Chains A and B, each alone.
Chain A
Amino acid sequence: MTEHLKMDQVQPHLLDETGQGVLSVPMPRPEGPLKVTGRAPYAAEYKAEGMATGVMVRAAITKGTYAVDTASVEDMPGYLGVFTDKMVRNAAQGTMGTNPAQMGDKILYLGQPIAVVVAETFEQARDIAAVLKVDYTEDDDAVCDFDGVSDWPDSDKPDQGDLDQAMSDATFTVDSMYTTKPHNSAAMEPHAALAEWDGDKLTLHGSLQMLGYNRDEVADSLGIDAKNVRLLAPYVGGGFGSKLGMSPDCVGAAVAAKALGRPVRVVLSRNNVFEMIVLRTATRQRLRLAADKDGKLLGLGQENWQSNLPDEPMAEPVDLATHFLYGGENRRYGQHVAILNRPASGSVRAPGEAVGMLALENAMDELAEKSGIDPIELRLRNIPEKHPETGVQYSARSLAEALTEGAKAFGWDKRQKAGTRREGEWYIGMGVASAARTNILMESRANVTLNPDGTALVQTDMTDIGTGTYAILGQIAAEMLGLDPQKVTVELGDTDLPKSSGSGGSWGAASAGSSVFLGAKAIRRKLAERLGCDVEALRLQDGVATGGNNRRPLAELMDAPITEEGHIEPGQTDEDFHQAGYGAHFAEVAVNAVTGEVRVRRMLAAMAAGRILNHQTATSQVWGGQIWGIGTALTEAIEHDPRTGHVVNNDLAEYHVPVNLDVGDLEVMFIDERDDASSPIQAKGIGELGLSGAGAAVTNAIYNACGVRVYDYPATPDRIFPHLP
């Protein structure tokens, strides 16, 4: 049976009534022992009988056509073949469900996958790929840099009111340009695929976030029926958007395996990951704020300029949070996406907010400085009653609590006037920024099985990319069924299991979690029937059912396992309420007065994301957001060669993700909240919320420390030093 819920109306808080007490509490991940002993298998670690190894070949020109000369390598030891058929230009975009562009012999960016070389061993394949002769015909009309764009496309975003008028009427205004460099997800596990055919059926171990969509993308790319594709990804070494869509290694491995009649494994090199997988576009952003004498916004504007390859169904939604975070009658947005010959732009953790909130929250800091209003007070004054553009009511919205309670815990009252706190050769400052991230519920299914021996099984094709899925799905089932979580087994990452939302957009926990909740709810109803009580009166705890003056161990109520499918779909509450997670980020930094180096001493995040399902894994998610905030603020920048679009720093030595010593003391606090509109488990996403605004808190702290305003990210010493007092 399927327990189906379309989220058309607010649901009761059943999870506050159950008595097991294993939800929300910190619980170590059940798969932890496998991870810390190296026994959790990731995609590249599977083997198959007779497996060959493939290595991707990248385009060495920016734009043109190519032909591989297989004769140049056929005699090399271990050579099995060079394959160019069906090669995809780049990874698919999230939830695309169709093939990415397949270019034939055309090249549109330097680093594009153009072939897969297959040999008996990795060492052989790597050398053959290096030697392979490729004949190129180069076009001379490549455009690789913003400065070379002659014709920016118009934006189709309508204005609300008259921002220009508001700017001239205002007592205080801000009109600033910000720029951000491209970012790379840089998940620690490079993308990998092991493809194995059995007749027409393909089994593929992949490094993927959203298996249901990925199956369709693989099938569409290969021109086969999705029913003939099985994907497996029980462990994924980080995603951050880079594994939302099927990656070129999947197609390369599948095509080669089919042609050779033997399994083929293709693992992307780190350089490949920086080129063949999507990166976050560079942005230019113009921020305008118009405020009255009390700091109340009369209007705001956020226009952005960015780039992508042709025919990519994704643009960085830079202004996503700006639409609903603050009030103001007059509003202008603009989005201009140029076509550049650079690797494809796509989702990197918190698409939109990750860069849009840098500019918005820096501009709010500028406004606070100009108006002489405390940055927290300024934000509190501008929290609207309802959505300032649609008039829709908000669901749970604890922004004010996050700002005020966070400020108290952080010691905001000790913040001094900009440039006045100095310790030796260091300027010290504090900064704040709001956090906001739209909440999304996606269709998701899971099977829940309760066994007479008091164990349970959860099965869904959902992935755990480090987000804690194994833990929280087990906890939800355990809480609903009255079991110790250790008695619940969670099986994930297999398209033979019920189709889930996948991991992306911070919707995984609430969506997949709701499907498990619903499956378990159906089991509760059956148990209540057997016990002879109303389901409302049923209490399940430690393997014993109580209700209607009856008390029976589960084993006495069941002679066979009960399996129920849970199926959640978004519904009317999505229309009736505007849903988002909110929070506040605080940072204290030290800026070196001699070198301009910035050290983040400490950060605090106060987060409100509905019901927190596991305080330990949720805290880790927010740590991740804070540290990504440090990276976006201070170090992370892809540098494209303006002549060729080449990702000059296409490795982890030159693309600087934060290391351990870059990170000061981190504190995370959660605002207790239930979001009734979000889902039957009242939870919202947290992974991207933790990043939204985090970098802006750091750069606002830089301003408070030394009076230098960061307009061009990241705030490397060369961007600070020349402006120091």
Chain B
Amino acid sequence: MQITLTVNGAAREVDIDPRTTLLDVMRHHLDLTGSKKGCDHGQCGACTMLVNGRRINGCLSLAVMHDGDEITTIEGLGDPGNLSPLQAAFVRNDGYQCGYCTPGQIMSAKGMYDEFNKGWPSHVSDDLTAEPNFSTAEIKERMSGNLCRCSAYPGICKAIEESAEEEGLTTRKAAE
């Protein structure tokens, strides 16, 4: 099937087997291997990408469902010589070890900032209607869909906290 995706700002036409996941279109057809495949079942979060601004697991979605959608993958954030603030913070804080879950962690955090800005509550929010607090507990809860077996969670949280403002977080920070 012929579909068009806007990937990292550029229109990309692909002719694909309808069984192809959005993740595999990136990895196998567009040579965008930054999005990782850790489980292919939406369990690990390594394939997290933004679709029309929202974070999803690329492995759980068929590409043909996204004709006309805007996709942002890790390759759309920054280059090795020109890192985005969040990417730089991951390097600074050792927010990874092997690096395999890292693109997913970063894309998930990008999506999460926006969810904070929109006032979305989480499982650990005390008040579902109040503006959510940008607390460590909130970050941990909202990032728990992204597994890191190297267990770099302390560095991941620190990177997310440190670069929040530069990444456009408008939610107030926790009064800690």
- A71 within 8 Å of B by Cβ? no
A37 contacts which of B83, B141, B144, B156 (Cβ < 8 Å)?
Answer: B83
Q: Is there an interface contact between A237 and B94, defined as CB atoms closer than 8 Å?
A: no
Residues 78-121 of chain B, each 1 if its beta carbon lies under 8 Å from chain A, else 0: 11110100011011101011111111001000000000000000
Residues 121-161 of chain B, each 1 if its beta carbon lies under 8 Å from chain A, else 0: 00010000000000001011101111111111111110000
Given A188-B44, A270-B41: A663 touches B153 (CB 8 Å cut-off)? yes
Majority-rule SS of A interface residues: loop
Q: Is there an interface contact between A663 and B103, defined as CB atoms closer than 8 Å?
A: no
Q: Is there an interface contact between B24 and A122, defined as CB atoms closer than 8 Å?
A: yes
- Chain A hits for B92, CB < 8 A: 28
- Chain B hits for A661, CB < 8 A: 124, 137, 140-141, 143-144
Which A residues, 303 to 357, have Cβ-Cβ distances below 8 Å to chain B? none
Q: Is there an interface contact between B44 and A620, defined as CB atoms closer than 8 Å?
A: no
- Which listed segment binds B: A94-102, A145-153, A465-473, A700-708? A465-473
Q: Is there an interface contact between B39 and A623, defined as CB atoms closer than 8 Å?
A: no
Cα A623 to Cα B152 in complex, Å, equals 7
- Chain B hits for A581, CB < 8 A: none
Q: How many A-B residue pairs have CB under 8 A?
A: 192
Given A623-B152, A658-B151: A190 touches B37 (CB 8 Å cut-off)? yes
Q: Is there an interface contact between B100 and A189, defined as CB atoms closer than 8 Å?
A: yes
B37 contacts which of A267, A467, A621, A657 (Cβ < 8 Å)?
Answer: A267
Q: Which of B44, B81, B149 has the most CB of A within 10 A?
A: B149
Given A33-B81, A40-B99: A188 touches B155 (CB 8 Å cut-off)? no
- Chain A hits for B39, CB < 8 A: 190, 270, 651-652
- A235 within 8 Å of B by Cβ? yes
- B38 within 8 Å of A by Cβ? yes
Given A237-B100, A270-B40: A623 touches B17 (CB 8 Å cut-off)? no
Cα A32 to Cα B43 in complex, Å, equals 25
Cα A236 to Cα B97 in complex, Å, equals 10
Which B residues, 18 to 71, have Cβ-Cβ distances below 8 Å to chain A? 19-20, 24, 27-28, 31-41, 43-44, 46
Q: Is there an interface contact between B97 and A468, defined as CB atoms closer than 8 Å?
A: yes
Q: Is there an interface contact between A660 and B96, defined as CB atoms closer than 8 Å?
A: no
- Chain B hits for A642, CB < 8 A: none
B102 contacts which of A35, A621, A651, A658 (Cβ < 8 Å)?
Answer: A35
Which A residues, 226 to 282, have Cβ-Cβ distances below 8 Å to chain B? 235-240, 267, 269-270
A98 to B: closest C-beta gap in Å: 27
Cα A624 to Cα B95 in complex, Å, equals 12
- Chain A hits for B98, CB < 8 A: 187-189, 235-239, 465-466
A selection of 14 A-B contacts at a CB cut-off of 8 Å is: A29-B94, A34-B80, A36-B87, A37-B80, A38-B75, A38-B102, A39-B34, A189-B36, A235-B98, A237-B100, A270-B39, A652-B43, A653-B41, A658-B151
**New A-B contacts (16) at CB < 8 Å, excluding given A36-B74, A652-B43:** A32-B96, A33-B87, A37-B80, A44-B37, A189-B100, A235-B98, A239-B98, A269-B40, A616-B94, A619-B94, A620-B94, A651-B43, A657-B147, A658-B153, A660-B146, A661-B140
